[in-house]
Structure 1
Amino acid sequence: MNIISHVLLSMLLVLVAYLGIQNQQIRAELTVLNASQQSASNVLAETLAPLSTKIDAINSVTSKIGKEADDAANQKLAALQKRLDLYKLIGTLNQANQLRAEGKGAEAAEKLASTKKPIWQAGETFAAHKAKLQGLMGPIDKLTGAWKSGDTSANVDAVRKELEAVLGALGNEQK
């Protein structure tokens, strides 16, 4: 039994020595591999840093261009909406005129007075036509006052014609 235990102990000692040597070799390979990986990651970082900067610059430029395009489109849409609102105001003027013709002076005056704020705002939007549009406030006030007091002889033709002239000029500017 003594011989078997010596043999087993010797084999165990050889096995431990073998595993120790293998462990040393694997550690050496891992150290080389780690150094190689670190070197590769440094090279990759140095290579990607300028690319990242360029990509950030490209993103910044495209974002700026996209925002400018969106802003321009929104401004154009806002101007088109204001033009559409002016067309709607002509309809409101016609409704006020119809009420006036029916002898409903107070209702017609209220309907006509409701056009003042949108016309004023359109004057702010269309600076080239500001004087014409905001100049309509006097005639509207005069008609509103007359209609409220019962004098429904005057109509909105002058105001409507001025709005139509502005719309015609705006249409020509779009071309």
Structure 2
Amino acid sequence: MNTISHILLSMLLVLVAYLVVQNQQLRAELDVISTTQNSAAAVLAETLTPLATKIDAINTVTSKIGKEADDASNQKLTALQKRLDLYKLIGTVNQANQLRAEGKGAEAAEKLVSTKKPIWQAGETFAAHKTKLQGLMGTLDKLSAAWKNGDTSTAPDAVRKTLEAVLGELNNEQK
């Protein structure tokens, strides 16, 4: 048994020595792989950092351009909406005139007075026409007071014509 145990111990010693050598070789290979990986990561970082900076700059520029385009589009839509509001005001003035013609002075006066604030705001929006539009306040007050007191003989033609003139000028400016 002694011999068998010597043989077994010898084989075990050879196996342990073999495993130690294999372990050292694997460590050496792992060190090489780790070094290669670290150098590849450093190269990638060097390469990608300027690209990331350029991409950030591009994103900033495109965001700014997109915002400017959106702002310009919104301004155009707002101006068109304000023009549409002026057309609606002409319709309201015409409705007030119809009520006046039917002898409904109080209702006509209320309808006419409802146009004052939108006309004033239109004057703020269209600065070049502010004097014309906001100058209608006195005419609106006089007409509505007369209509409330039963004098429905005067039509709001001056108000309607002023609104139509402003719209005509705005349409000419757009072309």
Q: What TM-score, normalized by structure 2, do the two folds share?
A: 0.97
Cα deviation, 1:76-96, whole Å, max 9, x if unaligned, reads 000000000100111111111
Matched, 1:130 2:130: yes
Matched, 1:57 2:57: yes
Distance 1:99 1:15 in 2: 113
Root-mean-square deviation (CA, aligned residues, Å) is 0.9
Secondary structure in 2 matching 1:155: coil
Match of 1:90 in 2: 90
Match of 1:40 in 2: 40
Secondary structure in 1 matching 2:155: coil
Distance 2:65 2:152 in 1: 55
Distance 1:12 1:96 in 2: 113
Distance 2:166 2:46 in 1: 62
Match of 1:147 in 2: 147
Secondary structure in 2 matching 1:153: coil
Identity of aligned residues (%): 82
Output the amino acid matched with 2:114.
S
Distance 1:156 1:11 in 2: 119
Structure 1 residue 35: Cα displacement? 1.1
Match of 1:174 in 2: 174
Structure 1 residue 5: Cα displacement? 2.3
Instruction: Return structure 1 stretches of 4+ with deviation > 6 angstroms.
Output: none
- Gap regions ≥5 residues in structure 1: none
Alignment of 1:74-85 (within 5 A): 74-85=74-85
Distance 2:22 2:127 in 1: 87
Matched, 1:20 2:20: yes
Output the amino acid matched with 2:65.
I
Distance 2:131 2:160 in 1: 16
Match of 2:100 in 1: 100
